[in-house]
Amino acid sequence: MINLKIKGEIVHFFDEKQQYSKIHENSSFPKQKIVIETDGQEYTLSFLKHKLELLRFCRYGTIIEVQAKLKGRLWRYSSNYYSTNELECNSLLILKNTIFNHFIEFNNIIYNLEKIYIDEKLVISLVNIQTREKQILNLDYSFPDKNVNFDHIFVSDKFNEELLKLLEKLGVLLIKSRKTTFGGLSGIICKVLILELFENRKLLFPDYEEIEALKRISEKEINIDNERDFTHYDENLDADQQK
């Protein structure tokens, strides 16, 4: 059996299906295939059973590195012979995401992302596009391996867990492990996956895209006002007391 290491960009997901065992015909297991592109070639990779969990945070445009085994089979049906080869994945490492085209919305607040480096350490912030208030994700911490500081952050374990999981689900970052430092800091090590999308900008989305997003917010608020029922309006009551 041949083991291969392949690195490429995900360009297609096939639907998950149930594969029936060739040994036990009455039993089945989940199977999903994806296609990655590398060096102008496209390869189909298979994920079986619990290995489907490896695809949980993958999306179109995700750059991955996989360890896969090349499997082959020859069989005969009637008077004809058939053969097939398959790349079955054993492990998957997410390297980065190349597509991210929407603002982050959490608790009815829309955020842009800001990226800066301070003392050669990555600092990521959520920026409220309406108030310009910033929420810094990471603690002031330097990883022992200085190269890790380029694309990893150390997030406080007091940071909103729901928001952090949303950022992981959206493909902004990957939660890797929890750690307590020698200095007593307790937090979560995360790898930021969309650094290249900032290009040379400080903000992920430029000003003109923020303006468009603010217009949509304003239009949404106007539409809500237009939909209010004023048939029971009482001029002696404040707006928030109207039924």
Domains of the chain: 2-97 (2.40.50.140), 104-209 (no CATH)
Q: φ and ψ at 93, to 5 degrees?
A: -120, 125
Q: Over the stretch 92-130, which tens digit does the pLDDT of each residue have?
A: 999 999 999 889 999 999 999 999 999 999 999 999 999
| Longest CA pairwise span in the chain (Å) | 90
Question: 15-51 burial, b for 16+ CB within 10 Å, e for fewer?
Answer: eeeeeeeeeeeeeeeebbbbebeeeeeeeebbbeeeb
Which of 18-22, 163-167, 220-224 is predicted with the least confidence, judged by mean pLDDT? 220-224
Q: Over the stretch 167-210, which tens digit does the pLDDT of each residue have?
A: 999 999 999 999 988 778 899 999 999 999 998 889 999 877 77
Please give the pLDDT value at position 78: 86
Q: How far apart are CA 54 and CA 174, in angstroms?
A: 12
* Average pLDDT of every residue of the chain: 87
Please give the pLDDT value at position 25: 66
Angle at 52 between CA 47 and CA 58, to 5 degrees: 100
Please give the pLDDT value at position 185: 84
E strand or H helix at 162 = helix 161-170
Please give the pLDDT value at position 220: 62
Burial of 208 from C-beta contacts in 10 A (0-12 / 13-18 / 19+): exposed
Residues 6+ apart with CB under 8 A from 139: 154, 155, 156, 185, 187
Please give the pLDDT value at position 234: 54
pTM listed for this prediction: 0.79
Please give the pLDDT value at position 22: 65
Q: Which two tokens stand for residue 219?
A: 């239009």
Query: Percent of the chain, pLDDT > 90?
Result: 67
